């Protein structure tokens, strides 16, 4: 969770676009993991809550949402990929910090 990990560790940055919404997430491997598995290709459709990969032995995922997104979690909450709703999209705006319906992948 060290801030340096975002610059030094293996990472995968993915942009998901669809229905007027853009979500960017960054998978960052931890000290022990050092291995990211991503199962989608450019142009693949992604369903809400669908698994798109994993980081072996856990690590960190940064999610950037539109400024109009309404957070459903707060600092310190534990979230689970594909299970936790982290925000509700309310409209269009600039990217700030999670998901939409059927969208396309761009890497």
Instruction: State the Rg of the chain over Cα.
Output: 14
d(CA 57, CA 55): 6
- List C-alpha distances in Å: 3 to 9, 28, 60, 102: 10, 11, 11, 32
Query: What does the CA dihedral 50, 62, 38, 16 come to, rounded to 10 degrees?
Result: 60
- List C-alpha distances in Å: 24 to 31, 32, 97, 107: 23, 24, 8, 10
What are the catalytic residues?
59
């Amino acid at each position: 969770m060290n801030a340096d990990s975002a610059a030094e560790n293996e990472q995968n940055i993915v942009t998901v676009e669809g229905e007027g919404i853009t979500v960017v997430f960054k998978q960052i491997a931890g000290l022990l993991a050092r291995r990211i598995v991503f199962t989608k290709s450019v142009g693949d459709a992604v369903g809400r809550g669908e698994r798109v990969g994993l980081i072996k032995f856990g690590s960190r995922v940064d999610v950037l949402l539109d400024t109009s997104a309404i957070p459903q979690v707060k600092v310190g909450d534990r979230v689970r990929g594909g299970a936790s709703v982290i925000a509700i999209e309310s409209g269009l705006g600039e990217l700030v910090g999670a998901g939409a319906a059927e969208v396309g992948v761009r890497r």
